[in-house]
Amino acid sequence: MPATDSPAAAVAASSRARRFTLTRSALITAVFIAPAVVIRIIGLHLDPVAALLIYGSAVVAASFLLAWAAETAQIDVSGGLAIAVLALVAVLPEYAVDLYYAYVSGHDPDYTQYAAANMTGSNRLLMGLGWPVVVLVSIMVARKAGSPKSRGVTLEPANRVELGFLLVAGVVAFVMPATGQIHLALGLVLLAWFGFYLYKIGHGDVEEPDLIGTAAALGELPDRTRRIAVIGLFVTSGAVILLCAKPFADNLVAAGTELGIDRFLLVQWLAPLASEAPEFIIAVIFASRGKGTAAIATLISSKVNQWTLLIGSLPVAHLLGGGGFALVLDSRQVEEVLLTATQTLMGVALILGLRFGRLAACALLALFFVQFPLVSTQERLLLCGVYTAVAVVGLIINRSHLIDTFRAPFVGRAIRHTGHPHHEGERPTLPG
Q: Work out the average pLDDT over 83-95.
A: 65
Q: How far apart, in whole angstroms, are the C-alpha atoms of residue 358 and residue 140?
A: 11
Residue 348: what pLDDT? 96
Question: What pTM did the predictor assign?
Answer: 0.84
Element holding 207 (H helix, E strand):
strand 205-207
> Does residue 207 register a pLDDT over 80?
no
User: Which pLDDT value is given to residue 180?
Assistant: 94
**What is the set of domains in the chain, with CATH numbers?**
8-414 (1.20.1420.30)
For residue range 268-310, what is the model confidence (pLDDT) as tens digits?
998 888 877 777 887 888 888 888 888 888 888 889 988 999 9
Q: How confident is the model at residue 18 (pLDDT cuts 50, 70, 90)?
A: confident
272 close to 248: Cβ distance less than 8 angstroms: no
9: pLDDT strictly greater than 90: no
d(CA 51, CA 46): 6
Nearest to 272 by CA among 14, 69, 96: 96
pLDDT at residue 151, rounded to an integer: 83
Closest by alpha carbon to 120, among 321, 305, 383, 334? 334
147 — pLDDT class (breaks 50, 70, 90): confident
418, amino acid identity: T
Q: Which of 378, 315, 61 lies closest to 181 in space, CA to CA? A: 315
The mean pLDDT of the chain is: 86
Sequence-separated (6 or more) residues with CB below 8 Å from residue 295: 134, 138, 283, 284, 286, 287
Exposure b/e, 138-169, CB count within 10 A at least 16 = b: bbebbeeeeeeebebbebeebbbbbbbbbbbb
pLDDT single digits (tens) 47-87: 999 999 999 999 889 988 988 887 788 787 754 445 556 55
For residue 380, pLDDT over 90 is answered with yes
Residues with Cβ < 8 Å from 67, sequence gap 6 or more?
90, 215, 278, 279, 282
